[in-house]
Structure 1
Amino acid sequence: MARVLIAPADTRLSNLRYGKSYNVLNNMTADDVTIDALVGEEETAVEAQNVHVRELGTQNRLQYYGRSFRTAAREIRAGSVDIYHHMNLSYRWFNPVLLAGIAADTPTVLGPCQTGHAIMAEEFNNMLSQAVGYELPLPVSNAVYYPMNAVRDVTIDPVRMSLFRRTLEAADRITVVHEEAREAYARHVDESKIDVIPLGVDAELFEFTERQDTQTLVAIGRLEQRKGYDVLLDALANVVEAFPNVHLDVFGEGPEEQALREQAASLGVADNVTFHGYVDQSVVRDHLARARAFVHPSRSESFSLVRLEAMAVGCPVVVTETAGAHEMVRDGKEGFVVPTEAAEPIADALLELLSDFELTRAMGARARERVERNYDWRAIGQQYVDLYRSLL
């Protein structure tokens, strides 16, 4: 039986929130392939019998990656690995095991890989806090963020891109999450080694629900600048003029909450918005099941799983033109794809859905069909197993 070593896999293996690493691993069932996945900590047990999760005892990212690469190097040198897989390689990042040539004689997979997205100051704060293991005050991380941005193009990026390209060149196969990502990675490596395998959604958990003739809208995501909620509130003010009883339920927490509450009040739509904060996934699912539409005004995304969750329950979506948006959502079929930073197109799309219930129902049904066809985790896990088999 062939043995696959996935290292690194994820610092925190859990099915909470989106659980992309968990869902890929949980659906890699096979009789001829055994998989060892190194994680920082396992919070949700993987059910696939051929997948063995090994905890490295830390959620500190620096410690986890160091232990993961050292373990991978040792086991590859020992000759016990048939295929080596670095899961979730970040854009412009690298793998020291590949750079050192340790896996030169071992078939290697990188992915799922995504394109980068704009990192705002708040998000950089979250990333740096995770790296050091405790929450840093925003002024502290800003002292790093702004000077780093100023010198990045001439200092950090050239080195980082060189290591990134060399890592890609050393791999045998690279999986990316959509065609836009394929185009981005093909600028750095031979396109023939790139496969598109998207991320997915639990189609059983997010089961299809027929639309109701309501005026309820749902938005989900962290309350930060990148997510574009300020643009959504501007759009909502236009929608309220035609539909005074429309209501927007916002799920998520973050540093922009107070500013968004104040914006809603200044626009006169405070009574039309409820900020729920962070809630359990089942609560989000229930609200999506009752919603007229899901709206996602993000300024930048590398791959949006929450859009798939809305589509899975049969909710029409209004989404911005971030990476992979047109591949996931066909404009006018499963919903509407609108420009970023533009309130009027969002308002126009919402007004069309609120004005035409039959359109809402038809779009919702097509959204579910598209998820079942292209984004079911069960099929995605098997695509990875088939990729492994092709390398043996």
Structure 2
Amino acid sequence: MDVGLVVYGPLDDRSGGYRYDLELVRGLRAAGDEVTVVSLPERSYRQRLRDNVSALRRLRDVDVDVLLQDELCHPSLAAVNSRLDDTPVVSIVHHLNSRETHPPWRQHLQQAIESRYLRSVDAFVFNSETTRETVAAVTDPNPNVVAYPAGDRFASDGVPLDDEEIRARAADGPLRVVTVGNLEPRKNVDGLLRALARTTGQWRLTVVGAAVDDRYERSLHALADELGVTDWVTFTGRLSDADLAATLRQSHLFALPSHYEGFGIAALEAMGFGLPALVSSAGGGSELVTHREDGFVVDPTDTSQITDAIAPLFRNRSRLVSHSLAARDRFAEHDTWDETSQTVRSFLTEFVANRE
């Protein structure tokens, strides 16, 4: 099968959707498929809209059985798909941009553009049932497949951790919390900081992720200073896989109470290290985390919920151990990237055959 994939920028090992796309390409190629990656320029939203003409020219020259498109690229593709003749288009949807918070005028405009794009594709790959439901509110989501992201990229680092290491770590030092994701308002690191500052125990927070929004990054440093917790917070920027694995291994809790998250690959990866995952109720987090068993599902707008979930772990390390072991076991039950890729490949193979 000849497959095309449209992404913004280079297809590398960035977190989230890029990790999903990269692992899918690896899986398809390992199965013997030819995959052509078409990289569109990463630019401002307005400039991306102007790229529809150049994107059309480039995609008309791509001879494939099926064209995969990362839905993130929708501004550059909204007027393209209807002009691609007979090439079937399958959109990989991680989360909808229109579910994020924007000024009203921009929200309305982006919803219109994204809706036009979604109605222009022939089939979908969803990263969660929640994402499928959000698309179903816009257009018919069929045919589709839900293929959950995996978290086994750290298998060579001894993941999943064994009971002994998890138990020994739980008794060690202040509560070490880690959050992983691009620094942007949607990730709600500010809400996490406020919640931690309200606790009475000793803690350390490691914030891992590229500063994609400079203004937001500056506001986080200012907030930490305002709350008097600057010495307890470390901003690392983006880390290599080895350094990220080391950070996860020595942490106690993963926390990412995003305002919206389609699924949460970083949370799943952290669970492999025996970290209970505190995730948002806004999105697909509840499909991964069972509240108060292997983590916590909280309202991202309610700081007290985040505080109430974390506070008992300071004084009750046996509870931390219980949650940690359950998180590790939940990770072990989850599909691997090979299985996720096979799920998508089987869907694509059947889809192409039915089109023919």
* TM-score when normalising by structure 2: 0.80
Matched, 1:23 2:4: no
Residue 155 of structure 2: aligned partner: 204
SS at the partner of 2:283?
coil
Q: Please, which moves more after superposition, 87-96 or 334-343? A: 87-96
Matched, 1:290 2:250: yes
Instruction: Work out the CA distance in 2 between the residues paired with 1:384 and 1:368.
Output: 25
SS at the partner of 2:120?
helix
**Unaligned 5+ runs, structure 1:** 41-55, 122-145
Instruction: Work out the CA distance in 1 between the residues paired with 2:246 and 2:10.
Output: 26
Deviation of 1:113 after TM superposition, in Å, equals: 4.5
Deviation of 1:10 after TM superposition, in Å, equals: 4.8
SS at the partner of 2:10?
strand
Output the amino acid matched with 1:357. Answer: R
Deviation of 1:12 after TM superposition, in Å, equals: 0.6
Instruction: Work out the CA distance in 1 between the residues paired with 2:51 and 2:343.
Output: 27
Matched, 1:166 2:119: yes
Instruction: Work out the CA distance in 2 between the residues paired with 1:309 and 1:328.
Output: 11
Instruction: Work out the CA distance in 2 between the residues paired with 1:375 and 1:117.
Output: 29
Deviation of 1:184 after TM superposition, in Å, equals: 1.8
SS at the partner of 1:175?
strand
> Rg larger in 1 or in 2?
1
Instruction: Work out the CA distance in 2 between the residues paired with 1:266 and 1:284.
Output: 28
SS at the partner of 1:13?
coil
Selected match of 1:11 from 6, 9, 21: 9
Deviation of 1:205 after TM superposition, in Å, equals: 4.9
SS at the partner of 1:274?
strand
Structure 1 vs Structure 2 CA RMSD: 3.1
Residues 178, 196 of structure 1: 8 Å contact kept = yes
SS at the partner of 2:307?
helix
Task: Specify whether residues 278 and 111 from structure 1 end up closer, same or farther in structure 2 by C-alpha distance, changes over 3 A only.
Answer: closer
Residues 250, 276 of structure 1: 8 Å contact kept = yes
Instruction: Work out the CA distance in 2 between the residues paired with 1:112 and 1:230.
Output: 27
Deviation of 1:65 after TM superposition, in Å, equals: 7.0
Q: What percent identity do the matched residue pairs reach? A: 22
SS at the partner of 1:28?
helix
Selected match of 2:82 from 74, 91, 99: 99
SS at the partner of 1:70?
helix
Residue 236 of structure 1: aligned partner: 196
SS at the partner of 1:336?
strand
**Unaligned 5+ runs, structure 2:** none
Residue 111 of structure 1: aligned partner: 92
Q: How does 1:166-315 map to 2 (within 5 A)?
A: 166-168=119-121, 171=122, 173-201=123-151, 202-205=153-156, 207-209=159-161, 210-211=165-166, 212=169, 213-214=171-172, 215-239=175-199, 241=200, 243=201, 245-252=202-209, 253=211, 254-315=214-275
Deviation of 1:72 after TM superposition, in Å, equals: 3.7
Residues 288, 313 of structure 1: 8 Å contact kept = yes
Deviation of 1:176 after TM superposition, in Å, equals: 0.9
Residues 278, 297 of structure 2: 8 Å contact kept = yes
Aligned residues: 332
Instruction: Work out the CA distance in 1 between the residues paired with 2:278 and 2:28.
Output: 32
Deviation of 1:274 after TM superposition, in Å, equals: 2.5
Task: Specify whether residues 68 and 338 from structure 1 end up closer, same or farther in structure 2 by C-alpha distance, changes over 3 A only.
Answer: same
Residues 203, 376 of structure 1: 8 Å contact kept = no
SS at the partner of 2:206?
strand
Instruction: Work out the CA distance in 2 between the residues paired with 1:296 and 1:162.
Output: 28
Instruction: Work out the CA distance in 1 between the residues paired with 2:186 and 2:34.
Output: 36
Residue 47 of structure 1: aligned partner: none
Task: Specify whether residues 225 and 27 from structure 1 end up closer, same or farther in structure 2 by C-alpha distance, changes over 3 A only.
Answer: same
Task: Specify whether residues 66 and 308 from structure 1 end up closer, same or farther in structure 2 by C-alpha distance, changes over 3 A only.
Answer: farther
Output the amino acid matched with 2:33. Answer: T
Instruction: Work out the CA distance in 2 between the residues paired with 1:312 and 1:357.
Output: 19
SS at the partner of 1:329?
coil
Residue 86 of structure 1: aligned partner: 68
Q: Please, which moves more after superposition, 309-318 or 11-20? A: 11-20
